[in-house]
């Protein structure tokens, strides 16, 4: 993406109330690895005209504090942007950990994303974070009780019910806070199960840690609320958090090519398709045909 395209997007968003309201809440620059874009700092500044709350996601798989990718992230943090990262245990010690220490020096909040294929993976990632924050200064000790609660609950679950299904997992973890906010530090955990993807690139009905259960997505759009949209670099507006991996076919138009009126018309057409597709998904799930795609192009796990 180039800064001019970002500016076109911002100009259009300002003309559409529903998108403007969403953008005012939060904008996430994510997908691919935004730090690789040499214009990302300029692009960040343009989106910040819509909201002070612009986040940038990184894999933090960066080998040196001298790298251009890292220097771009530093500039964004100095401009009050917020960097979030996904913890990858394979590069944690060598790459992520040293730079995370730098991030903590530059911003007073942090969201850590954790992708887990098995429940024990989640436990070991929590333990990595505990070892890390245990070595940091007093300001960060507020995160330790939160992490300790997760550690103890997960350890307990694995001892008592290592083959638990998703419902049992959620019941066991019920009420566990994944967010803590003190006077000088805000910390959040985002735990995302991994999914199998078939040879056509379609996500499975089941999450990897809980292979016996369907992992269903409750779509808010047919229920009348748009909670999140994703704008691809091409300008294509995809509903919800679909950065292309869910393959939801009904689109909301193109933020670069379409006029605001055309976009709002496409939102309306797509909403109707979702209502109909989701009804069919319910029927398929109830009739033993879970996983079949319907003609509306709604993923089969969306209900």
Of 295, 271, 118, 287, the C-alpha closest to 194 is 118
Among 217, 231, 237, 285, interactor with ligand SF4 by CB under 6 A: 217
Q: Would you say 193 or 239 has its CB closer to ligand SF4?
A: 239
> Whole-angstrom Cα distance, residue 73 to residue 51?
18
Spell out the residues 6+ positions from residue 171 whose beta carbon is closer than 8 angstroms to its own: none
By CB under 6 A, name the one of 9, 274, 285, 294 that touches ligand SF4: 274
Binding mask 193-212 vs ligand SF4 (x if CB under 6 A, - otherwise)? --------------------
Taking CB under 6 A as the criterion, the residue among 242, 253, 256, 267 binding ligand SF4 is 242
The whole-angstrom distance between residue 50's C-alpha and the CA centroid of its chain comes to: 20
Query: What gap in Å lies between CA 9 and CA 232, rounded to an integer?
Result: 11
- Residue that is written with structure tokens 């795609």 in the block: 293
Residue the block writes with tokens 């076919």: 249
Q: Residue 173 or 243: which CB sits closer to ligand SF4?
A: 243
Using rule CB under 6 A, residue 298 touches ligand SF4: yes
Question: Residue 219 Cβ, how far from ligand SF4 at the closest point, in Å?
Answer: 3
- Sign, CA dihedral 75-79-80-81, equals negative
**Token output for 216:** 């269903």
Note whether 240 binds ligand SF4 by CB under 6 A: yes
List the x/- string, 151-180, binding to ligand SF4 by CB under 6 A. Answer: ------------------------------
Ramachandran angles phi, psi of 84, nearest 5° = -115, 155
Residue 8 or 279 with smaller CB distance to ligand SF4? 279
Q: Is 248 in the site for ligand SF4 (CB under 6 A)?
A: yes
Cα–Cα dist 102/74, whole Å? 9
Contact between 302 and ligand SF4 per CB under 6 A: yes
Q: Cβ–Cβ contacts within 10 Å for residue 156, how many?
A: 11
Nearer of residues 22 and 157 to ligand SF4, judged by Cβ:
22
Q: Which CB, 46 or 302, lies closer to ligand SF4?
A: 302
Residue 205 CB, nearest distance to ligand SF4 (Å)? 13
- Which of the stretches 49-57, 82-90, 98-106, 215-223 binds ligand SF4 when contact is defined by CB under 6 A? 215-223
Binding residue for ligand SF4, selected from 129, 246, 255, 256, defined by CB under 6 A: 246
Q: How far is CA 273 from the centre of its chain?
A: 25
Please state the closest distance from residue 300 (CB atom) to ligand SF4, in A: 10
- CB of 223: closest distance to ligand SF4 in angstroms? 10
- Nearest to ligand SF4 of 9, 248 (CB atom): 248
Q: How far is CA 49 from the centre of its chain?
A: 22
b/e 29-57 (16+ beta carbons within 10 angstroms → b): bbeeebbebeebbebbbbbbebeeebbbb
Rule CB under 6 A: say whether 22 interacts with ligand SF4. no
In the chain, the largest separation of any two C-alpha atoms, in whole Å, equals: 57
Tokens encoding 225? 């609320």
Dihedral, CA of residue 150, residue 153, residue 154 and residue 155, to nearest 10: 120
For ligand SF4, how many residues bind (rule: CB under 6 A)? Answer: 12
The binding site for ligand SF4 (CB under 6 A) comprises 217, 219, 221, 239-240, 242, 246, 248, 274, 298-299, 302
């Amino acid at each position: 993406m180039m800064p001019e395209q970002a500016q076109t997007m911002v100009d259009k968003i300002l003309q559409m109330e529903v998108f403007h309201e969403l953008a005012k809440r939060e904008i996430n620059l994510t997908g691919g690895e935004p730090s690789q874009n040499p214009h990302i700092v300029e692009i960040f500044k343009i989106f910040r005209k819509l909201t002070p709350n612009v986040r940038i996601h990184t894999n933090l798989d960066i080998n040196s504090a001298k790298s251009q990718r890292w220097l771009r992230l530093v500039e964004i943090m100095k401009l009050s942007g917020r960097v979030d990262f996904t913890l990858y245990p394979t590069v944690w010690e060598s790459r992520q950990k040293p730079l995370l220490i730098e991030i903590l020096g530059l911003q007073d909040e942090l969201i850590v994303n954790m992708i887990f294929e098995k429940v024990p993976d989640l436990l070991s990632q929590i333990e990595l974070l505990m070892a890390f924050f245990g070595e940091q200064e007093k300001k960060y000790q507020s995160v330790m009780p939160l992490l300790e609660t997760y550690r103890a609950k997960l350890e307990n679950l694995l001892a008592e019910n290592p083959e638990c299904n998703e419902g049992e997992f959620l019941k066991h973890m019920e009420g566990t806070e994944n967010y803590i906010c003190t006077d000088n530090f805000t910390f959040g955990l985002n735990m995302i199960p991994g999914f199998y993807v078939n040879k056509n690139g379609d996500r499975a009905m089941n999450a990897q840690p809980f292979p016996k259960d369907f992992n269903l997505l409750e779509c808010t759009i047919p229920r009348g609320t748009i909670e999140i949209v994703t704008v691809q670099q091409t300008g294509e507006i995809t509903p919800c958090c679909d950065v292309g991996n869910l393959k939801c076919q009904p689109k909301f138009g193109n933020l670069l090519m379409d006029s605001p009126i055309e976009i709002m018309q496409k939102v309306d057409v797509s909403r109707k398709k979702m209502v109909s597709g989701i009804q069919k998904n319910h029927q398929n799930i109830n009739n033993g045909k879970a996983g079949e795609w319907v003609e509306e192009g709604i993923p089969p796990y969306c209900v």
